[in-house]
Structure 1
């Protein structure tokens, strides 16, 4: 399972931290709990642990309606990965 955590810097820019195998639910919770108040985390995931959702200020769910992959277009760097 792949997870991405983007950490915005106070003076602009974003540090992106890529986690794999965060299916161990304890790993993202300390990161969330220890972040500075003025730091906003953007976490993308599927089947997120409830403890992560409880700590979130905003939770969105996306679903595929139409995808170009079905028409034969392969994954594109910068868009899909």
Structure 2
């Protein structure tokens, strides 16, 4: 099973109280299964109403499947505001 790095940004970082961590994942996963795997380890981010998941700088689409390998980086990106 590959071990991937999870990066948390903005409110997601505040919820889990860390900037990054890692998890073991299957080599091939559906978007929804990957999201659930992340939720199961980092329960507080279930509270986010919306967020994006990126894999190695590319945003993932709901309904998609991904191939994962060691050293992949997954980013959890909630909506951010600015001014």
Greater gyration radius: 1
Query: What TM-score does the superposition give when structure 1 sets the normalisation length?
Result: 0.31
Larger relative contact order (Cα-Cα within 8 Å, sequence gap ≥ 6): 2
Q: Greater strand percent: which structure?
A: 2
Alignment TM-score, normalising by the size of structure 2? 0.31
